[in-house]
Amino acid sequence: MGSTLLSFDEASAIVRMHAEALLRDAAPRTERVSLHQAQGRILAQPLVADRDQPSFPRSTRDGFAVRAAEASLNQPLRIAGSTRAGDPPSGPLPPNSAWEIMTGAAVPEGADAVVMIEHVEVANGTVRLLAPRTIASGDNYVPTGAEAHAGDTILAPGVALTAASIALAAFSGYPELDVYTRPRVAILCTGDEIVPVDQSPAPGQIRNSNGPMLAALVAQAGGDPWLLPTVADTEEALNAAIAQALEADLVLATGGVSAGKYDLVEPALERAGFRFHFTGVRIQPGKPTVFATLQSKNGTKCFWGLPGNPISSAATFLLFAAPVLSALAGRTDIGPRFATARLGKRAKHDPALTRFMPAHCTFGAANQWPTVERLFWQGSGDLATFARSNCFLVLPEEQDVIEAGTEVRILLF
Amino acid sequence: MGSTLLSFDEASAIVRMHAEALLRDAAPRTERVSLHQAQGRILAQPLVADRDQPSFPRSTRDGFAVRAAEASLNQPLRIAGSTRAGDPPSGPLPPNSAWEIMTGAAVPEGADAVVMIEHVEVANGTVRLLAPRTIASGDNYVPTGAEAHAGDTILAPGVALTAASIALAAFSGYPELDVYTRPRVAILCTGDEIVPVDQSPAPGQIRNSNGPMLAALVAQAGGDPWLLPTVADTEEALNAAIAQALEADLVLATGGVSAGKYDLVEPALERAGFRFHFTGVRIQPGKPTVFATLQSKNGTKCFWGLPGNPISSAATFLLFAAPVLSALAGRTDIGPRFATARLGKRAKHDPALTRFMPAHCTFGAANQWPTVERLFWQGSGDLATFARSNCFLVLPEEQDVIEAGTEVRILLF
């Protein structure tokens, strides 16, 4: 514990180190889900090819299977047979012949290329590759086993399942998959000023926006959110809430971490025996972010003290807590995931901090570049502006002016 | 119908035009969901501020509320009171006084700035802003209504609900939200070679990977996937399947759209009275993509004939079908959503086509740039390679060589 502020890079390196240790040591539970429920889940088993892929030499075109050397003479070849997709492999291909074939069908034995139907002349039961075009051995078909061999591991555990990996699993005969169970993430919102969403705030009070927001961010990052009742600004309430929250794998608390008289989170963590990894980062928003861990008999418990203003909470969750959550979820690619875009308008800032500014990126249709514009905001509590943003624009610590048109980094959410 | 190939830009413009017309004319049904089920759904009502935001002048710092002119004299000011977050607004602030205040608390009447606790000296019931620091009126607090006024529309219908907009809805007192009902999307996989995932393919056959893949892509794009049984390569089977699929709002068919003898989709659509908007695009993969619509008494039915190879199906879905699906879902930001990254290795291609190559992007931690590498593939049926990719690298039609380190566009999935 202490008041030293780390740079964004230093804090990120600490987060990465802890996430990698959790990936090595944590053994998340697994569950089996059907393929149509698997999207976004983390694969917990190797995916193995049950047969060669392709399992037969597969034509990639509609046309004629040929011997390339014969076809390249541009002479008529007798059409000796026909194979459509789904037919068993046929052949062999007789000399000076061609074999009609459809995309996805098995190339007959003896053929070593497929000429495209668009490149031939068909007449009197023969087919001729039109001069001056020639064809090389291997063109327009995929040999048996070229994509994978039977028994190969074609996808390793630890990846988030995308539409593409679901397609591969289906192709390889997996109607169900073992995935890691989502880690449980406790969400503790602190502050005497906070009332529930269905209540009318008295003067000086506000409704709880961080709870639903963090629940959504946790779900999106692969966790199972557990929203606890709002915690009052007293030692007793905070001690009790932290004790309950430690049933989860990861705890997110918001509020109570800045320099004020009633900021009680750090003392409560000290009493509970936590070790602090950082208590502040040179970023805006999100400077008073606290990362602490506790070694318990149930493994490592990770605690994030996020600032109470909602934009600060969201940014620090994405930058620091989400990678730790990914690791607890068994995911090897832990993020955060930055993209780039072109800066729409010149940006200036005081380069003492790395800034993550609510921004809107226009993702170009056709051949335009994605362009990002910083939104004018009233500070890190300005939810109306935050809700109109779709990313954070990164203003690096070392750079005070960024010209319009420059390639900049954005953090998507 | 015809064999003219459109450029990628031309096809994208046609898609956009139709999507915008659907957005104008379609009136998707709505349903009410609780806030914790709202993420990713499309907002179907305006979000209106029920009170000023903030509803009181909110301190953004822990410190002391002051009159800026008095505090900037750097003389001791008497501490006249204290307001913590959640307390009702207090004051008025007497002359030559300061008022202790916490982040998120109401600034007392008469004060026009908040000095940070880190910038003052407190002694004998007084507080002094340390010279040479001064403070300006308006510093460190947000005036009443600065973010939004009571009655303002703070979020318009048609946006996808993010964690940020969920936070705003919670803050504004919406425990539930009206969202558009997800459009039903029929998925028709055609081809005699296709067997279900739980079956062992005979020689020449393959398991159905497009069905589960497209179901995942549809769900991700905000649709409700309806996977129909695989359709045999006969006129009768296809007629019957299309008739059934037209109960959905949008139909995706895969296979049966290239130049082969058994490609039956276009004739079946002609028989059903569809109007064709394009039947081919100068892209790879995905050239033989078909877009057709039918005006029926139940509104416009959109039909996509996607190529049968899975990578072609996925790319053409993301580029062309997903924007139409977004429009049917009531979403005003219809995509596709491109990002940019740095090219890892020099890329060359034949610039007659716009290419979308399976690629892997490393999203940099800390201050690195996202870098994308094209993956070596065996063509558009190579699922093992596709499953290791996390984006498509765009190689534009007009450019044959792209040097390493260049900013390039990527399509995320």
Q: Is A192 within 8 Å of B86 when comparing Cβ atoms? A: yes
Least CB-CB distance to B387: which of A8, A154, A387? Answer: A154
Query: For the segment A319-357, what is each residue's pLDDT rounded down to a tens digit?
Result: 999 999 999 999 998 888 888 889 999 999 988 899 999
Per-residue confidence band for A262, with pLDDT thresholds at 50, 70 and 90:
low
Q: Is A258 within 8 Å of B366 when comparing Cβ atoms? A: no
User: Could you give the number of structural domains in chain B?
Assistant: 4
Those of residues 149-188 in B touching chain A at CB distance below 8 A are 152, 154-155, 162-175
Asked whether residue B19 falls in the same domain as residue B134, the answer is no
Residue B205 at interface with chain A, using a CB cutoff of 8 Å: yes
Least CB-CB distance to A173: which of B58, B207, B263? Answer: B207
Least CB-CB distance to B387: which of A164, A216, A383? Answer: A164
Query: For the segment B232-257, what is each residue's pLDDT rounded down to a tens digit?
Result: 888 999 999 999 999 999 999 998 76
- The dihedral through the CA atoms of A216, A217, A219, A223 has a sign that is negative
DSSP string, B332-390: S-----EEEEEESS-EE--TTSEEEEEEEEE--STTPPPEEEEPP-SSTT-HHHHHH--
A152 found inside a domain: no
Which chain A residue's Cα is nearest to B311? A164
pLDDT of residue B17: 95
Of A116, A142, A168, the last residue of a domain is A142
Q: Is A383 within 8 Å of B147 when comparing Cβ atoms? A: yes
B100 found inside a domain: yes
pLDDT of residue B45: 98
Tell me the nearest-neighbour CA distance from A297 into chain B, angstroms: 32
Asked whether residue B294 falls in the same domain as residue B197, the answer is yes
Burial classification of residue B5, based on how many CB atoms lie within 10 Å of its CB (0-12 exposed, 13-18 middle, 19 or more buried): middle
Of A142, A171, A190, the last residue of a domain is A142
Per-residue confidence band for B364, with pLDDT thresholds at 50, 70 and 90:
low
Kindly report the CA angle at B291 between B286 and B294, in degrees rounded to 5?
Answer: 160
Least CB-CB distance to A39: which of B53, B220, B314? Answer: B220
Which chain B residue's Cα is nearest to A102? B260
Structural domain span for residue B174: 34-48+155-180
Mean pLDDT, range A81-105, rounded to an integer: 92
pLDDT of B171 above 70: yes
Least CB-CB distance to A413: which of B147, B163, B383? Answer: B163
pLDDT of residue A2: 45
pLDDT of residue B1: 41
Question: Rounded distance, CA B283 to CA B411, Å?
Answer: 14
Query: For the segment A56-82, what is each residue's pLDDT rounded down to a tens digit?
Result: 999 988 899 999 999 999 999 999 999
pLDDT of B182 above 90: yes
Per-residue confidence band for B187, with pLDDT thresholds at 50, 70 and 90:
very high
Q: Is A167 within 8 Å of B213 when comparing Cβ atoms? A: yes
Asked whether residue A174 falls in the same domain as residue A198, the answer is no
Least CB-CB distance to B340: which of A214, A340, A387? Answer: A340
pLDDT of residue A1: 41
Q: Is B381 within 8 Å of A142 when comparing Cβ atoms? A: yes
List of chain A residues whose C-beta atoms are within 8 Å of the C-beta of residue B85: 191-193, 204, 233, 262
Per-residue confidence band for A364, with pLDDT thresholds at 50, 70 and 90:
low
Those of residues 96-125 in A touching chain B at CB distance below 8 A are 100, 102-106, 117-118
B374 found inside a domain: yes
Please state whether B80 falls in left (phi above 0), alpha (psi between -120 and 50) or beta: alpha
Total-model pTM:
0.94
- Which of B7, B118, B206 has the most A C-beta neighbours within 10 Å, making it the best mutation to test the interface with A? B206
Asked whether residue B188 falls in the same domain as residue B324, the answer is yes
Per-residue confidence band for A369, with pLDDT thresholds at 50, 70 and 90:
confident
Least CB-CB distance to B384: which of A89, A106, A168? Answer: A168
Mean pLDDT, range B137-153, rounded to an integer: 96
Asked whether residue A198 falls in the same domain as residue A215, the answer is yes
pLDDT of B96 above 60: yes
The whole-angstrom distance between residue B234's C-alpha and the CA centroid of its chain comes to 38
Mean pLDDT, range B42-48, rounded to an integer: 98
Of A328, A348, A369, the last residue of a domain is A328
List of chain A residues whose C-beta atoms are within 8 Å of the C-beta of residue B192: 84-87
How many Cβ contacts (< 8 angstroms) between chains A and B? 368
Asked whether residue B306 falls in the same domain as residue B352, the answer is no
Q: Is A386 within 8 Å of B172 when comparing Cβ atoms? A: no
Which residues is A178 bridged to in the sheet? A32
B1 found inside a domain: no
- Which of A207, A220, A320 has the most B C-beta neighbours within 10 Å, making it the best mutation to test the interface with B? A207
Tell me the nearest-neighbour CA distance from B297 into chain A, angstroms: 32
Tokens of A248: 């989860």
Strand, helix or coil for residue B161: coil
Mean pLDDT, range B272-277, rounded to an integer: 95
Asked whether residue B116 falls in the same domain as residue B175, the answer is no
- Which of B14, B117, B152, B197 has the most A C-beta neighbours within 10 Å, making it the best mutation to test the interface with A? B197
Least CB-CB distance to B147: which of A85, A364, A382? Answer: A382
Asked whether residue B320 falls in the same domain as residue B202, the answer is yes
B41 found inside a domain: yes
Those of residues 365-404 in A touching chain B at CB distance below 8 A are 365-367, 369-370, 378-390, 396
B245-270 in b/e form (b: 16+ CB < 10 A) is bbebbbbbbbbbbbbbebbbbbebbe
pLDDT of A3 above 60: no
A385 found inside a domain: yes
Burial classification of residue A51, based on how many CB atoms lie within 10 Å of its CB (0-12 exposed, 13-18 middle, 19 or more buried): middle
Q: Is A56 within 8 Å of B191 when comparing Cβ atoms? A: no
- Which of A35, A62, A90, A103 has the most B C-beta neighbours within 10 Å, making it the best mutation to test the interface with B? A103
B117 found inside a domain: yes
Tell me the nearest-neighbour CA distance from B6 into chain A, angstroms: 13
Q: Domain holding B343: CATH number?
A: 2.40.340.10
Please provide the size of chain B in residues.
413
> Do A105 and A89 meet the contact criterion of CB atoms below 8 Å apart?
no
Per-residue confidence band for A281, with pLDDT thresholds at 50, 70 and 90:
very high
Q: Is B191 within 8 Å of A104 when comparing Cβ atoms? A: yes
pLDDT of residue B390: 93
pLDDT of residue A370: 87
pLDDT of B4 above 90: no
Nearest-10 Cα torsion for B66, B71, B76, B79: 0
Range with the lowest mean pLDDT among A365-374, B65-74, B92-101, B330-339? A365-374
pLDDT of A366 above 70: no
Mean pLDDT, range A213-220, rounded to an integer: 97
Question: Rounded distance, CA A358 to CA A373, Å?
Answer: 9
Q: Is A168 within 8 Å of B209 when comparing Cβ atoms? A: yes
Share of chain B above pLDDT 70, in %: 97
Asked whether residue A380 falls in the same domain as residue A358, the answer is yes
Mean pLDDT, range B18-29, rounded to an integer: 90
The interface predicted TM-score (ipTM) is: 0.93
pLDDT of B173 above 60: yes
Q: Domain holding A129: CATH number?
A: 2.170.190.11
Q: Domain holding A218: CATH number?
A: 3.40.980.10
> Do A231 and A189 meet the contact criterion of CB atoms below 8 Å apart?
yes
DSSP string, A107-173: PPTT--EEEEGGGEEEETTEEEEPTT----TTTTEE-TTSSB-TT-EEE-TTPBP-HHHHHHHHHTT
Those of residues 210-249 in A touching chain B at CB distance below 8 A are 210-217, 219-220, 233
Which chain B residue's Cα is nearest to A161? B387
Helix (H) or strand (E) holding B100: strand B97-101
Asked whether residue A235 falls in the same domain as residue A346, the answer is no
B281 found inside a domain: yes
pLDDT of A403 above 90: yes
For strand A63-66 and strand A206-207, is the pairing parallel, antiparallel, or unpaired?
Answer: unpaired
Those of residues 315-354 in A touching chain B at CB distance below 8 A are 335-342
pLDDT of residue B202: 94
Least CB-CB distance to B363: which of A202, A335, A369? Answer: A335
Mean pLDDT, range B129-133, rounded to an integer: 96
- Which of A152, A199, A324, A383 has the most B C-beta neighbours within 10 Å, making it the best mutation to test the interface with B? A383
Asked whether residue A92 falls in the same domain as residue A12, the answer is no
Asked whether residue B176 falls in the same domain as residue B274, the answer is no
Tokens of A240: 């009790």
Range with the lowest mean pLDDT among A95-109, A220-234, B249-263, B365-379? B249-263
pLDDT of residue B3: 56
pLDDT of A154 above 80: yes
For strand A299-306 and strand A194-195, is the pairing parallel, antiparallel, or unpaired?
Answer: unpaired
Range with the lowest mean pLDDT among A281-290, B3-12, B56-65, B214-223? B3-12
Mean pLDDT, range B352-360, rounded to an integer: 94
> Do B410 and B394 meet the contact criterion of CB atoms below 8 Å apart?
yes
Q: Is B384 within 8 Å of A148 when comparing Cβ atoms? A: yes
